[in-house]
Amino acid sequence: MTRLLQASLLFTVCSLLASCHDDQPWARGEVDGYAPIYSTEASLKQISFQVPRKTVNGGKLFTAGTLVLQEEIDSGLHVISYQDPAHPIKTGFLRIPGFQVAAIEGDYLYANNYDDLIAIRLKTISADMSVGRVVGIWKQLNYPAGRGVYFECVDPSKGIVVGWRKTKLNNPQCRRPENIYDEPTVLSTRNNAGMIAFHRKLYLVTPDALAVYSLAYPERPVLTRSKALPRAKVDSLFLLNKELAVSYSTQLGRYDTTSLDNISLYDNLSHCLKIRAKGDTAYAIFSRRNLCGSPSSTLIKFRLKKDSTSAAELGRLQVGTANAFVIAGSYIYVAASESMSVVNITGGKFENAGDQFIGGYSDIVNNGNLLFLRDSKQIACYSIATSPASPKLLSQLLY
């Protein structure tokens, strides 16, 4: 009877433990999985400026002077001249294998070439341009996309991983998490939280620290300071006014740009939000990239206090299915799946000023009085010089 009671108790405990963890048991024997495709070609570290090409997998937008740079996912940047905003021209393609992130300081572009940091002067961009390089800044966390998938563990000595092939694996030793909360970006195949160029310094996140590089010699960034971060994976790095914001899966930290000291840590601002700030007021939309539930149509307003562990929510506003937004002057411009929404924040106001129903936008950046928005077919350029509440469409550059 005692043994039966012990067995019953053990079964109950195991059942309770299993109910608290939704990950699947580790499979043994032959299973479906993925094997890395390696390359040791020197061309993977060769940066080149090529003739203009068609945009196929268009991504994020960056601005530099009269140029707009558009990401071609994993392969480089399309260079577009907006010297005449009404008549934009693609001038070339900057091939950067393994490209994911970029930052611009003055006339210099900083980007990743797989695990290396490169620096290029935009005014001299050409077939024979010089490229500065700092080797091995990042450590790629190479794995195939998808939850719970098995894969052959990566061996860096075999080269750079350039892809994955589906195959049968025998007793695989590596697997991606089944639970979405084990990793903020379960569909991401590399760990790169972004870069910030600010006041002749470059800020980035290495595998275990927040690092600062001096840009006193722009083509030769030099590490000047680093600070260990909490063990949680960093999802994104961005500017919050003149401070650094580091977003984790469940928190957002503010850091001083000089000392890297932590100023505040908010437990209600997580990787599920895209955040911008003006003064001590922050605005946020839900991030669709991080799979934090169904698409949101809400712009949220917060008050940021340095002596608090939570940001105070001040209000919410319906703005359509929001994908990205910028703050320019007294207005917020939201790139939404249905339109571009304009929100008035003059003197503490928080109200819709109108919509521009042209395209379903997934990204937006601004440069002075110009707004650049992209959808699946084009980049649209708007002017807010004469009427910030009613942007004027200047051009649409088809892919």
pLDDT at 347: 87
Tell me if 8 sits within 8 A of 138, measured CB to CB.
Answer: no
pLDDT tens for 224-258 read 999 998 767 788 899 998 999 999 888 999 999 99
Write down the pLDDT at residue 159.
Answer: 86
Cβ partners under 8 Å of residue 13, min gap 6: none
Give the pLDDT score at 235.
85
Angle of CA points 376, 381, 386, to nearest 5°: 150
How does pLDDT run across 94-145, given as a tens digit for each residue? 999 999 899 999 999 999 998 899 999 999 999 889 999 999 898 766 788 7
Helix, strand, coil: what percent of the chain each, to 5? 10, 45, 45
Most confident of 33-42, 219-228, 302-311: 219-228
Query: Do the Cβ atoms of 317 and 331 come closer than 8 Å?
Result: no
Report the C-alpha gap between 243 and 233 in whole angstroms: 20
Question: pLDDT class for 222, splitting at 50, 70, 90?
Answer: very high
69, β-bridge pairs: 62, 79
Over 60: is that where the pLDDT of 260 sits? Answer: yes
CB within 8 Å of 179: residues ≥ 6 apart: 21, 22, 23
Residue 357 pLDDT grade (very low, low, confident, very high; cuts 50, 70, 90): confident
Task: Please give the mean pLDDT across all residues of the chain.
Answer: 87
Q: For residues 382 and 368, is the Cβ–Cβ distance under 8 A? A: no
Spatial CA neighbour of 141 closest among 77, 207, 196: 207
Most confident of 27-31, 119-123, 177-181, 268-272: 119-123
In angstroms, rounded to a whole number, what is the distance separating the alpha carbons of residues 380 and 63? 14
Query: Hey, how many other C-beta atoms are within 10 angstroms of the C-beta on 341?
Result: 24
* Residue 395 pLDDT greater than 90, yes or no: yes
Q: What pLDDT is attached to residue 10?
A: 40
Contacts of 141 (CB under 8 A, 6+ apart): 189, 190, 191
Structure tokens at 181: 């909360």
pLDDT tens across 361-370, in order? 999 999 999 9
What dihedral angle (degrees, nearest 10) is formed by the CA atoms of 79, 397, 330, 340? -130
Model confidence pLDDT, tens digit, residues 47-88: 999 999 999 999 999 999 999 999 998 899 999 999 999 999
Token pair for 146: 């998808």
Tell me the mean pLDDT in the region 306-334: 93
Instruction: Answer whether residue 298 shows pLDDT above 50.
Output: yes
- Please, which residues have CB within 8 angstroms of residue 299's CB and are 6 or more apart in sequence? 283, 284, 285, 316, 317, 318, 319, 322, 325, 332, 334, 343
The C-alpha R_g of the chain, in whole angstroms, comes to 23
